[in-house]
Amino acid sequence: MQILGVSVEPPEEGKKLLDRVTHDCQEDRPHIALDPYPLRLLTDPDAKLIRAVGAENEGHWAGLIAAPITYIVDRDGKIRWAYVSASAADRPSPVALAKAACSVAAGKEPPADYPGKT
């Protein structure tokens, strides 16, 4: 299983984010191994992938950005679970995300009742 983040930001901004998140996790959760860090950041300056998965937000004050959407994609590339966030601060709980990811990884249907279901 892989965790991917996609942004229109240039690669150097993604590196800064990854460094910041890694530092925060090392301080908050030193018992969790982060080598290698389980998040891979993809740069999409032309927003081709962002548009392809329906995650574009062109009405943001900063211009086009990726809307805060969390997807779980199966091995065949099919979106099996989506959490459409109301804002950048609204994210699925780690428990809900883990349950859905484990279900999809096991070839089962993800939970049908969770906040943000689309």
Q: For 102-115, write each residue's pLDDT tens digit.
A: 888 888 888 876 65
Instruction: Output 25 or 118, whichever has higher pLDDT.
Output: 25
Share of the chain above pLDDT 90, in %: 1
Residues 96-104 have a mean pLDDT of 84
Gyration radius of the chain's alpha carbons: 15
pLDDT at residue 113, rounded to an integer: 67
Q: What are phi and psi of 46, to 5 degrees?
A: -95, 0
pLDDT of 117 above 70: no
Contacts of 64 (CB under 8 A, 6+ apart): 8, 47, 50, 56, 57, 58
Contacts of 89 (CB under 8 A, 6+ apart): none
Can you read off the two tokens belonging to residue 59? Answer: 């009405």
pLDDT at residue 39, rounded to an integer: 67
